[in-house]
A and B are shown apart, each in its own frame.
Chain A
Amino acid sequence: MIEFDHVSLRYADGTQALHDVALRVPRGQFCVLLGPSGAGKSTLLRTVNGLAKPTQGSVRIDGIVMSPATAAKLRRRVATVHQHFNLSPRMSVAGNVLSGLLPAVSTTRALLGWFEPRHRAKACALLERVGLEPVHLRRRAGELSGGQQQRVGIARAFMLDPEVVLADEPVASLDPRIAHDILSLIRDAARERGATVICSLHQLELARHFADRIVGMRAGKVVFDGAPDALDNAHVQALYEAAPASGHDGSPQLGAVPALAA
C-alpha cells in the first residue's frame, strides 16, 4: 500500500508542483494518473522513489516513510518504467536487464559484470516473459526499436521483484498497438506478483481500458478520483480544458513543472 499523506512540493524556483495530494493506493491496484502536461504527475511518481522530496507531508510505502534514511531500502522495492526507457544504449540488452538488480549484488560482482547464474537465468526468463528473443541478448539496447526497448525496460524493472511499479508515461512515444501490448505486459507482470502499479498516461482510451482506478490531476491537485466508468466527458473536459492558469504563453504558472532533468 502506498499512502500519500497530504503531499505538497514546491520547487526551489517557487513553482508549486504538488498541492496537498492525499491518496491511498492499495496493494495490487493498477492506478492511472491522468492530466495535462505540467499537472504534477511525474513529480508525484518521483516522490514515491525518492527522486523528488515533498516539502510538506510524506509518502509511505507499506507504512514506512520515504526519507533519505529509508530511501536505499525502499527503492529496491519500487521499480520504475521510464518514458524514454532510460537504458544504457551502448550496453547489451542482457547488461541493461542485469543492471536492474545492481543494489542486490556485491560491489566486486557489479564492477566485473559477473552476475550469479541464478541472476542470469532470471534475466533470461524475464526477457522471454516480455516477448524478446534469445538473439536480442547480446544486441546493444540502442539498436532495438522503441517498443523493444521498453520491453527491456520492463524486464529490468522486474529484476528485483518489486512491490510497486511506477510507470511515467511508459507508452508516450510508442504507436497505439505497441502501447496496448506494453501496458498489458506491465499490468499482467504486476498482477502475477501482486505488485501495485501507478502509471501516468496521456491516452484516455488506454487509461479507461487498463485502470482499476483513475486519478485526475490538474495544477498539482487531485481533481478526480474514481473508477474508470465514473470518468465521464465532463470530467475529461474539466481536466484538460485550457484555463488562464495553465496557458502556453511561457509565463510561470501555478502547478507548472519546471523542465526536469529527464
Chain B
Amino acid sequence: MASQAAPAKPIPTPPAGSRLAWQLDPPFGTRHLLVVLAALAVLLWTGHRVEMDRMVVLSAQAIAKWIGLADESQVAHGIERVAKSMWPPAIEEKVEVARLPELDRNNLPWDARLETQQRIEKRMNLQTLQLEETVERTEYLVRPWGYVFTVALKMLETLEIALWGTLLSVLLSAPLAYLAARNYTPHRAAYLLSRGVISLLRSAPELIVALFFVLAYGFGPIAGVLALGLHAAGFLGKFYAEDIENADTKPQEALEAIGAGKLRTLWYGVMPQVMPQYIAYTLYILDRNVRMATVVGLVGAGGIGQELKGRFDMFQYDHVATILAAIFVVVFLLDQFSARLRARLL
C-alpha cells in the first residue's frame, strides 16, 4: 500500500436555506403534481365515456370463460362463432354449370374439372299422391384453387393501386415541395398557397376521399389511386419541403457563390443531401399505401378490399378468412422487402 493520502478538502457548501445568486430548483413541484392529477381526472372521465370500464369487464369474462372459470361470455361466444364460420378458409371455387351458358365442355379452363353431385329429394307424385324419392343431379364446374387465384388477382390489383398512388403522390409533391420550401419558393404567395394545398391534402383521410371519388369515377381502382395519391402527396410535400429547408447550407453557398442559379443549386447542393430521406419517406408511403389500398377497397375503390366487403356482406366468412390471410402475407412480405431495400439504399 502506498502512503495514506491526505483526505481531500471538501468543497464548501453554503448552509441550508441561504439565498444565493445561483439557484438550481428541484425538477418537480406542486405544479407538476396538479397537472398529473388533472390529467388523471380527465382520463377517468373520458375513459368511462368510451366504455373502457365495460371493456375490462367483458374481456375478463371472456378470459374466465376460456380458462374454465365462467360459463357465459358474450365476447367469447362471438369470437368462437366467427372463428368457427371462418374455418376452413375457402380454397376452391364451385359454380353450377347451369349458370354458365357459355361453357365449352371440350375446352375447360386448365385448372377446372366438372363434378356431379347427387342429391336425394322427396317429392309428391301428383298421379299417385305418394312421396317418391328422386335423385337430383347437379353438375358443378370446380376449380380446386380457384378462390386462391381470385384473391391473388385482387391482391395484385391492390398492389398496383398502391404503386400508382405512390407514383402520383411523388409526381404531385415534388413541385409542391419546391414551392413550399421557404428558401427556394419563387414567391411568398406561391409558398402560402402550396402550404395551404399541402395541409388540405393531408387533412383529408383516404377513406373519405375515396368515398367521394367512387361517387365521381364509379367503382374501381381509379378512385383508390386518386385517394391514396392525393393524401400521400400532402404528406410527402410537407416532408420534402422541410428537408429542403433544413439542408446544410454550405454546399448551397458554394454554388451560389459561382452564380449557379436557384434550380441548379437545388439540384446539386440540396438534392444529394436529402435523397436518402426522400427515399425513406417514399418507401414508407408505398408501405402505407399497400395497407390503405386494402382499406379503401371497402368503399368500392377496387382491389382486395372490395372483394372483402362483398364476401363480408354475404356472410361468407370462409372467403373472408382467405382474404385476411392473403393481406397478412402480403403486408409481412412487404415489411421484409422494404426493410431490406431501405438498408441497401441508405
Complex contact A71–B257 (CB within 8 A)? no
- Interface assignment of B87: CB less than 8 Å from any CB of chain A: no
The residues of B that contact A86 with a CB separation of less than 8 Å are 250-251, 253-254
- Chain B 250-272 residues near chain A, CB threshold 8 A: 250-251, 253-261, 263-264, 267-269, 272
What 1/0 flags go to A76-114 for Cβ under 8 Å of B? 101110101111111100010001101100010011000
Q: Is chain B's binding surface mostly helix, strand, loop or mixed?
A: helix
**With the chains together, A103 CA to B256 CA distance in Å?**
10
**A262 close to chain B: CB less than 8 A:** yes
Question: B268 is contacted by which of A73, A78, A88, A262 (Cβ under 8 Å)?
Answer: A88
| Residue B341 is within 8 A (CB to CB) of chain A in the complex | no
- A90's contact among B255, B256, B260, B273, by CB below 8 Å, is which? B273
For B258, give its contact among A89, A102, A111, A262 (CB under 8 Å): A102
Interface residues on B, range: 20 to 34
Docked pose: A110 CA to B261 CA in angstroms: 11
Given A72-B259, A99-B260, A102-B260; A90-B254 close (CB under 8 Å): no
> CA A16 – CA B113 in complex, angstroms?
92
Interface centre among B250, B264, B267 (most CB of A within 10 A): B250
What is the minimal beta-carbon distance from B183 to any residue of chain A, in angstroms?
A: 10
Q: Give Cα A111–Cα B96 distance, bound, in whole angstroms.
A: 61
A51 an interface residue at 8 Å Cβ cutoff?
Answer: yes
Docked pose: A85 CA to B251 CA in angstroms: 8
B249 — which chain A residues lie within 8 A by C-beta? 261-262
B36 interfacial by beta-carbon distance below 8 Å: no
A152-164: contact bitstring with B at CB < 8 Å (1 yes, 0 no)? 0100100010000
| Contact call B250/A82, Cβ cutoff below 8 A | yes
Main secondary structure of the interface of A (DSSP, over half): mixed
A73, A78, A90: most-surrounded residue (chain B CB, <10 A): A90
Q: Which of A232-262 contact B (CB under 8 A)?
A: 261-262
CA A100 to CA B260, docked complex, whole Å: 8
Chain A residues contacting B268 (CB-CB under 8 Å) are 88, 91, 95, 99, 102, 110
Are A90 and B276 neighbours in the complex by a CB distance under 8 Å? yes
B276 pairs with A80, CB closer than 8 A: no
Residues of B within 8 A of A261 (CB): 249, 253
Given the interface contacts A86-B250, A86-B251, does A103 sit within 8 Å of B275 by beta carbon?
no
In the complex, A116 Cα to B82 Cα: how many Å?
68
- Contact pattern, A 50-78, Cβ under 8 Å of B = 1, otherwise 0: 01000000000000000000011111101
Task: Please encode chain B, from 235 to 256, with 1 for each CB lying within 8 Å of some chain A CB and 0 for all others.
Answer: 0000000000000011101111
Chain A contacts with B in 90-147, Cβ cutoff 8 A: 90-91, 95, 99-100, 102-103, 107, 110-111
Asked if B251 and A76 sit within 8 Å, CB to CB, the answer is no
A51 B257 Cβ-Cβ under 8 A: yes
- A100 and B250 in contact, given A88-B269, A90-B275 (Cβ under 8 angstroms): no
Chain A residues in 8 Å Cβ range of B273: 88-90
A-chain residues with CB within 8 Å of residue B261 when the two chains form the complex: 72, 102-103
Shortest CB-to-CB span from B244 to chain A, Å, is: 14
Known: A75-B259, A102-B260, A111-B263. 6 other contacts (CB 8 A): A49-B258, A71-B259, A73-B259, A85-B250, A90-B276, A91-B272
Chain A interfacial positions (CB closer than 8 Å to B): 49, 51, 71-76, 78-80, 82, 84-91, 95, 99-100, 102-103, 107, 110-111, 153, 156, 160, 261-262
8 pairs from A and B in contact (CB 8 Å cutoff): A51-B256, A78-B257, A87-B254, A100-B258, A111-B267, A153-B254, A261-B249, A262-B249
Q: Which 7 A-B pairs have the closest CB atoms?
A: A75-B259, A86-B254, A102-B260, A86-B250, A91-B272, A88-B251, A99-B268
